[in-house]
Amino acid sequence: MKVEILGCSGSVMQGYNTTSILLNRETLIDAGSVSSVLSEDAVCTIRHILITHAHIDHIKELPFILDTLFSSSAHGVVIWASRPTLEALTRNVFNGMIWPEIRDLNARKDVITFSEVPPGEFVIGGFRVTGHPVDHIPGSLCYEVSQGGSTVIFSGDTGFDSALFDLALSRGPGLKAFFVDVSFPDRMEKIARLSRHLTPLLLKQGIDGRMDPSTRIIAYHIKPKYLDEVVAELPPNVAYIVGGEVFEF
């Protein structure tokens, strides 16, 4: 699978975009920076959007993606998320005040479908996908995505969640990459724990040297302000990304 990192930072600063990861051009994980990064044609190629949770850095360009789709002759798009996340989007974004209601957006032509992530595995865009709950805000999901013999996990935003680490460890060498939230440097562990994010030390404790050596562990969602500190503290077997990278798994 082709994985393009459109943005992956824990905040917006010049040169740093928030989380959006494009898989094989048609499936998107989070909508933090899409229309501001991709061409109109590329936006119109997206058919599925998997949202990890409702925080603004993961949804802020969703209205503009839909805008682009409406003004083109493109096909529809399915927005996948947990029920609490879909409810938050309906109540707080697509509410007729911040942005039109979905019902009104769909009045001219059916473009948008909100779909609750089902329990267990489901199939979209040629991928087998599973949403697993993680410890961040209510309704937060990580996504496990498989195609052929390759599996990749995108943690979404998460605090220290033993179930997430156990999941990643249980996949053995089939897990090609574990993209994991490392937002803050070690000195800010208290804030990280309060806001349910990880630091390099918490990540190290979570994987505890048990990850299969063939799995690439990739830190993302780093707050740009603390990038240098976080990078200096990452364990040697952990890479990091800042946006613009392309992977093939």
Chain residues binding Zn ion by CB under 5 A are: 55, 57, 157
Measured from the CB atom, the residue of 138 and 173 that comes closer to Zn ion is 138
Measured from the CB atom, the residue of 21 and 105 that comes closer to Zn ion is 21
Closest distance of CB 181 from Zn ion, Å:
7
Q: What DSSP assignment string belongs to 118-136?
A: PSSEEEETTEEEEEEE-SS
Closest distance of CB 159 from Zn ion, Å:
10
Measured from the CB atom, the residue of 32 and 125 that comes closer to Zn ion is 32
Closest distance of CB 28 from Zn ion, Å:
15
CA quadruple 91, 95, 98, 103: dihedral sign? positive
* H helix runs in 171-243, sequence order: 189-195, 200-207, 227-233
Cβ–Cβ under 8 Å, residues 223 and 240: no
Cβ–Cβ under 8 Å, residues 160 and 205: yes
Closest distance of CB 240 from Zn ion, Å:
16
Measured from the CB atom, the residue of 53 and 171 that comes closer to Zn ion is 53
Q: Distance between CA atoms of 74 and 47, rounded to whole angstroms?
A: 10
Closest distance of CB 88 from Zn ion, Å:
12
Q: Distance between CA atoms of 241 and 11, rounded to whole angstroms?
A: 14
Measured from the CB atom, the residue of 48 and 55 that comes closer to Zn ion is 55
